[in-house]
Amino acid sequence: MVSGSQSSFYGTVQIKGSFATRNADKGRRVYGERLVKTDDFEYRLWDPHRSKLCGAMKKGLKTFPFKYGSKILYLGASTGTTISHLSDIIGDEGELYAVEIAPQCMKSLISLSERRNNIIPIHADARHPEEYVDVGKVEIIYMDVAQPDQDEILIKNAKEFLQKDGIAFFCVKSQSIDVTKEPQVVFDQVIKKLEPHFEVLEKIKLEPFDKDHLFLALRFLA
Ligand SMILES: C[S@@+](CC[C@H](N)C(=O)[O-])C[C@H]1O[C@@H](n2cnc3c(N)ncnc32)[C@H](O)[C@@H]1O
């Protein structure tokens, strides 16, 4: 039996140098992660090579608004790797709207949502927020769609759903935007486009976990 120590990130502990969340679906793994039992609970180790949010935490992220009961819109849910840890953190009172365009990812996401009540899967293109207006206002948007127009997608969704002073996390993949330009040039262009709408709180390069990725924490100015 091991013991976890406190972490500065709400709803997480540190176990042998890894972040971990308390497993809301005891005995089950989501993406092959390690399960660790402590005296009282079971934890899932959070892999920074598989989740950019965890990579950013490892690289010193300070902005962490996730808490019990948070309402989150997540764009680019994939099969639910990062989502599963957020689901552990926000608990039964939380709501995690998970937008994904790829039908094969949706299958995994739907089966995940059947075991975790706070995940609401939405099969849609994040370019068309009008298709999921029922989501209503959220406190946090997490965006990881790896598309050339990802900055415009974020702005559109923030205008529709994000409350004033709400927080957006944005994973910028320079290769998806322009392979011919240096990553820093691409990052600077993206930030310039975001600045009329957001205050940039943090910029974190995700190496060594993800190459040519910038993780942004933003406050919505509305
Ligand atoms: C890099 S993966 C996301 C990984 C995920 N955020 C995680 O940490 O577990 C990008 C995902 O965005 C999805 N995607 C791409 N374009 C999209 C769009 N326009 N609307 C919704 N999802 C999109 C892809 O199908 C893919 O599953």
Domains and CATH numbers, the chain: 5-45 (3.30.200), 52-220 (3.40.50.150)
The answer to whether the beta carbons of residues 15 and 39 sit under 8 Å apart is: no
- pLDDT at position 2, please? 66
Residue 180 burial (C-beta neighbours within 10 Å; 0-12, 13-18, 19+): exposed
State the Cα torsion 42-45-51-56 to the nearest 10°. Answer: 110
* Ligand 1 mean position, distance from CA 183 (Å): 20
> What are 41-60's pLDDT values in tens digits?
999 999 999 999 999 999 99
CA of 90 to the centre of ligand 1 (A): 21
Q: Which atom of ligand 1 is nearest to the CA of 145?
A: 12
Instruction: Supply φ then ψ for residue 157, to 5 degrees.
Output: -70, -35
pTM above threshold 0.75: yes
Select from 169, 154, 168, 178 the least CA-distant residue to 206. 169
| Residue ranges with strand state E in the chain | 5-6, 12-15, 18-22, 35-37, 42-45, 71-75, 95-100, 119-123, 138-143, 162-173, 198-205, 213-220
Closest by CA to 88, choosing from 62, 134, 135, 51, is 51
Q: Which residues line ligand 1 (CB under 6 A)?
A: 51-52, 75-76, 78, 81-82, 99-102, 105, 125-127, 144-147
* pLDDT score recorded for residue 20: 97
Distance CA 164, CA 59 (A): 27
Considering only CA atoms, which of 205, 201, 198 is closest in space to residue 217? 201
Q: What is the per-residue pLDDT for 39? A: 76
CA of 125 to the centre of ligand 1 (A): 10
Alpha carbon nearest to ligand 1 atom 26, residue: 78
The ligand 1 atom nearest the CA atom of 127: 19
The pLDDT of residue 76 is 97
Q: How much is the CA Rg of the chain, to the nearest whole Å?
A: 17
Those residues of the chain that have pLDDT short of 50 are none
Choose which residue among 53, 101, 172 to substitute to test ligand 1 binding: the one with the highest number of ligand atoms within 8 A of its C-beta: 101
* Residue 40 alpha carbon to ligand 1 centre in Å: 35
Retrieve residue 213's tokens.
């990725």
pLDDT of 83: 98
What is the torsion angle, in degrees rounded to the nearest 10, for the CA atoms of residue 186, residue 190, residue 195 and residue 200? Answer: -80
